[in-house]
């Protein structure tokens, strides 16, 4: 009876659950993220860099600040006079979707503190989100002997943190501060800040003339977006050949000197001269990479080169990036068609099959069909040659069973009138598991949720798994992890703020990414976990 009553009292177990617990989970999990580093004043090799990652500002009255590295970035209030409440500040703000995981600041703090009639001045470094003082600071109370506080070496550093920003400040912390020299000053001569960026870039749209069969010069316009460091580069290739790369440039160049160094949205147009391609089906694929190195596939985008050529070559769009293509010739007037199909084995793996027939439908028997498979759904697609097969009496051919994963299978056959080709995209079903280390624990105990991604084949490494729990009657993401090279993943969480018996329903979700990920979303619900207070 007790367990039934407990279930009834938490039917929105998890609906109530997360007024109090959502905040605990949102930042407490061990989310997997890719880091990038932002430098100020000096780079990793000691070369001079700007201090543009830090924003100068003032609060109250009398504060001053500068982000000019030439004299050392400075913040504070003037000495040799009385000051009122106010300060100068230098602020580093993590872009939306990122967190500061590591920092190293070469800073100097100086302030006159103490004194019988004034609490004196303050200088220090603090964090925001969560707020807190970082390292030794200069401050003092009244009714003490006045002294000069100085803080310098060693550099202030932190690792394994999760911060929304850093603030270097110096000023007068009271309504009035007495005449003193120095008053309060903070100088920053070099900073290194590491930002974790767990979010993948996305392909928001594709367009252009690539699929228009009446053109020789064609184009594909790719629009991309990223929440975090921004889109760094877009890469494209045809049929797995040499790639064309379009970099964002400008501030989006290592070493980075801006918290968000690359543009959050970017559009690039690639041009393809199809005159050098074999007649038949082709595919454009590529990769979109953000500032942190997170990469998602572009495409595949299939297109066809017509057998009868084109009367409208058309110019390549101005400013477009040309994609190299392999030179090949095919005799005109091909009279056959190579078509593909796909079958499934009992284990769920895919087998390419197809037919070689004349345009009138007559089977062509005994013809060799050269096959390749190109991996899709991974950051770096690879093309592998398959064993050559021959058509049977009915013109049918059967290829070897494909490994797990998503593939573009292409084939070509030489006949008397030239070479004909075709292609098909096949994929195995995606599946994910989610298993808790225990189903009942107490406040303060550690839960380990683990599982494995299957069906993605070579694309299973580095896939983002969203950890979700029910908030107000619907699943909401509370953390994200990435799979290992074997497709395994793990999320660890310690429950610290559960004050009454509570049921948690977790699930693992692999989101669908449209053209950038060849599978639809798939999820797996884990066993409900109960947490009791101590």
Tell me the pLDDT tens digit for each residue of 300-338. Answer: 787 888 765 556 666 788 899 999 886 443 333 446 788
Q: Which residues contact 255 (CB under 8 A, 6 or more apart)?
A: 37, 39, 43, 44, 49
Q: Which residues contact 215 (CB under 8 A, 6 or more apart)?
A: 209, 274, 310, 312, 313, 314
- Which residue stretches of the chain have pLDDT < 50? 1-32, 327-334
440-442 and 474-482 as β-strands: parallel, antiparallel, unpaired? unpaired
How many H-runs (helices) and E-runs (strands) does the chain carry? 3, 38
- How many residues does the structure list for the chain? 534
Q: 76-95: per-residue pLDDT in tens?
A: 999 888 888 999 999 999 99
Question: What is each CA distance from 61 to 76, 114, 185, in whole angstroms?
Answer: 11, 21, 15
Closest CA to 492 of 161, 28, 101, 97: 28
- Average pLDDT of every residue of the chain: 84
Q: Which tokens is 143 given? A: 């009714």
Q: Which residues pair with 393 in a beta bridge?
A: none
What is the distance in angstroms between the CA of the first residue and the CA of the last residue of the chain? 22
Q: Which residues pair with 170 in a beta bridge?
A: 88, 123
pLDDT of residue 220: 95
Distances (CA, A) of 14 to 376, 436, 465, 470, 503: 38, 17, 21, 5, 6
Residue 10: CB atoms within 10 Å: 20
Model pTM? 0.57
CA distance 61 to 104: 30
HSE (side-chain half, CA atoms, 13 Å) at 143: 0
For residue 112 the two structure tokens come to: 């006159």
**What's the CA gap between 394 and 474, in Å, rounded?**
54
Contacts of 66 (CB under 8 A, 6+ apart): 56, 73, 74, 75
DSSP at 456:
-
In this predicted structure, what is the pLDDT of residue 176?
85
């Amino acid at each position: 009876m007790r367990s039934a009553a407990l279930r009834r009292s938490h039917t929105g177990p998890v609906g109530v659950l997360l007024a109090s617990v959502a905040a605990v989970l949102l930042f407490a999990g061990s989310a997997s993220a890719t880091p990038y580093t932002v430098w100020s004043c000096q780079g990793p090799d000691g070369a001079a860099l700007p201090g543009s990652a830090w924003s100068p500002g003032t609060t109250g009255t009398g504060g001053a600040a500068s982000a000019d590295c030439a004299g050392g970035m400075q913040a504070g209030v003037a000495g040799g006079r009385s000051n009122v409440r106010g300060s100068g500040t230098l602020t580093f703000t993590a872009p939306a979707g990122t967190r500061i995981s590591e920092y190293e600041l070469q800073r100097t703090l100086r302030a006159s503190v103490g004194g019988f009639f004034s609490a004196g001045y303050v200088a220090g470094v603090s964090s925001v989100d969560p707020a807190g003082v970082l390292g030794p600071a200069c401050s003092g109370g009244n009714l003490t002997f006045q002294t000069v506080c100085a803080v310098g070496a060693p550099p202030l550093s932190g690792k394994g943190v999760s911060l929304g920003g850093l603030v270097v400040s110096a000023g007068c912390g009271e309504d009035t501060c007495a005449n003193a020299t120095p008053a309060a000053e903070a100088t920053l001569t070099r900073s290194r800040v590491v930002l974790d960026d767990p979010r993948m870039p996305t392909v928001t749209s594709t367009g252009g003339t690539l699929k228009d069969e009446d053109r020789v010069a064609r184009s594909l316009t790719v629009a991309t977006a990223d929440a975090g460091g921004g889109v760094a580069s877009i890469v494209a290739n045809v049929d797995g050949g040499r790639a064309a790369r379009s970099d964002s440039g400008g501030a989006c160049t290592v070493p980075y000197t801006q918290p968000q160094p690359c543009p959050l949205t970017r559009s690039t147009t690639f041009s393809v001269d199809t005159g050098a391609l074999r007649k038949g089906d082709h595919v454009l694929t590529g990769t979109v990479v953000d500032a942190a190195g997170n990469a998602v596939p572009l495409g595949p985008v299939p297109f066809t080169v017509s057998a009868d050529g084109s009367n409208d070559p058309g110019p390549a769009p101005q400013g477009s990036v040309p994609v190299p293509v392999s030179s090949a010739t095919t005799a005109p007037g091909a009279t056959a068609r190579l078509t593909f199909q796909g079958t499934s084995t009992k284990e769920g793996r895919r087998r390419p099959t197809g037919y070689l027939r004349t345009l009138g439908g007559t089977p062509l028997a005994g013809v060799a069909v050269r096959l390749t498979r190109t991996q899709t759904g991974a950051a770096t697609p690879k093309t592998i040659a398959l064993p050559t097969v021959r058509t049977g009496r009915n013109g049918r051919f059967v290829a070897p069973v494909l490994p797990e994963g998503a593939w573009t299978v292409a084939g070509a056959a030489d006949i008397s009138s030239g070479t004909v080709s075709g292609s098909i995209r096949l994929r195995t079903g995606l599946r994910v598991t989610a298993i808790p280390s225990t189903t009942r624990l107490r406040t303060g105990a550690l839960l380990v949720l683990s599982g494995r991604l299957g069906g993605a084949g070579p694309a299973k490494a580095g896939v983002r798994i969203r950890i979700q729990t029910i908030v107000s009657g619907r699943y909401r993401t509370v953390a994200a992890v990435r799979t290992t090279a074997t497709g395994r993943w793990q999320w660890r969480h310690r429950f610290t703020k559960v004050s009454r018996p509570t049921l948690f329903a977790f699930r693992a979700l692999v989101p669908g990414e449209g053209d950038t990920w060849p599978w639809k979303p798939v999820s797996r619900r884990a066993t409900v976990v109960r947490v009791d207070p101590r």
